[in-house]
Amino acid sequence: MVMSRRLAKIPDSYFGKTMGRKIEHGPLPLINMAVGIPDGETPKGIVDEFADALRLPENQKYGAFHGKETFKQAIVDFYQRQYGVELDKDDEVCILYGTKNGLVGLPNCIVNPEDYVLLPDPGYTDYLAGVLFADAHPYALELEPPNYQPDWDKVPEDILKQTKLIYLTYPNNPTGSTVTQEVFDEAIQKFKGTQTKIVHDFAYAAFGFDHKNPSILQSKDGKDVAIEVYSLSKGYNMSGYRVGFALGNKDVIQALKKYHTHHHAGMFGALQDAATFALNNYDDFLEQQSEVFRKRRDRFTAILDEGAIPYEPMTGGIFLWLKTPESYTGEQFVEFLLQDQSILVAPGIPFGDNGNHYVRVSLALDDEQLDEAAKRLKSLSPMYKK
C-alpha cells in the first residue's frame, strides 16, 4: 500500500466513509436522522449576493491569502455585536476554508511531538486526526451526563503539566449540552499563565434554547488562553460553502495563519463576499434558526417521554443524545433501528468511549418526519424496561 506510516496509523474518518453510502433498511420508508447539518436553504439574499459576486472580475483571480478587509471587518463587527468581544482584524482573526481545516490543522501549528492534547469524550470525531498528525498524545477529557462539563480535577496533574492544547465544544456535538459563562471562566483562570491553550469549537453557536450560548472569549482574560472557531455552516444553512474563521489569542492565530499560507491559497473572493453579507445582515435569521430547533426538540422529546425513552437533556445544538437499551451497544442499536424501524442514526462510539451506549439523533428534519420517527422510537418502549 502506498501510504505513509503517519497516515496509516490514523483511523478512517467515520463520516468520510459513511456519507453517501447506499443504505439497506427495513420495510418502512427510510428516515435519515444521521445528518449533521440543518435542513433549511441558504437565505435568498445570501445566495443572490454570492451570484452577483461571481461576476466581479476581481473575484476571478487570486486574492489575498488572509482574506478581504471587508470580510475581516464583518467578522470583527459581528463578534462585537453578538458577544461584546473586541478583536484586531489582522492579528486576532484567521479565515478558514471550512472550520474542520482549522480544527484538524491546529495541533500542527502549536503542539510538539510528545505533548498532550485533551479531547472531549464525547466530542467531535475528527479532532483526534489532528493530534495524531502532529505526533502528539491524545488524552480523554471525560464528560459525564447529564451536563457533560469538564471536571479538571479528574485529569491527572502530570498529564495537565504536559498538556499543550485542550479542545472544548459547546453546544456539544454529539450530546446537545451547553454551558454557562462560568464554565469558561473557570477554564480560562485554570490555564492562564501556563503553556496550555484552549480551542473552543463554536460550530453550533446559534442554537441555544435555555440561554444564548456564550463565547469563551467573553471570559476575563479569554484571549490570553483561548481561540474560538466559528462556522457559518449551521447557523446560516451554508454548509456547502465551507466558510468559517478562528479568532482570539494572537500567538495561536498567527501560527494558524502561517500554516494556512502553505496549505491553502486564500478563500474564493465571491465566497468571502457572500459570508460578509451574511454576517452583516442576518442576525435575526440566527435567532429564527434556534427557535426552529427548540420547537423541534420540544415536539420530539414530548413523544419520547410518552414511551419513557431515555435521552440526555438537549439544551442546544441540533442533536439528541439517545440512550440505547441495556443489551445494545450504539453500533448494534444503529443496525437494529435501520432494519426494524428504517431509521438511520449515528452510533455514539466514534465520538469517544463514553458514547458506547448512545446514538446521536439529528433533528434536522421536517415536522412530519420527526413525528413519525418519534412514534417509531416510542414503540420500542418495552426494550427499555428491565
* pLDDT value, residue 24: 84
Architecture of the structural domain at 60-282: 3-Layer(aba) Sandwich (3.40)
For residue range 350-361, list pLDDT tens digits in order. 999 999 999 999
Give the residue extent of every domain in the chain: 5-42+284-379, 60-282
Q: Is the peptide bond before 325 cis (omega within 30 degrees of 0)?
A: no
Q: Compute the distance between CA of residue 332 and CA of residue 124 in angstroms, rounded to an integer.
A: 21
- Listed in sequence order, the residues at least 6 apart from 15 whose beta carbon sits closer than 8 Å to its beta carbon are 36, 125
For the domain bounded by 5-42+284-379, which CATH number is listed?
3.90.1150.10
* pLDDT value, residue 64: 81
Averaged pLDDT score across all residues of the chain: 95
Q: Compute the distance between CA of residue 149 and CA of residue 170 in angstroms, rounded to an integer.
A: 9
Strands (E), the chain: 31-32, 93-96, 116-121, 137-142, 163-169, 197-201, 226-231, 244-248, 319-323, 343-344, 346-347, 358-362
Q: Per DSSP, what are the bridge partners of residue 118?
A: 139, 166
Q: Per DSSP, what are the bridge partners of residue 95?
A: 245
For residue range 5-44, list pLDDT tens digits in order. 888 888 887 766 555 567 788 889 999 999 888 999 999 9
Helices (H), 218-342: 222-225, 250-263, 269-281, 283-306, 330-336
Cα first-last separation, the chain: 49
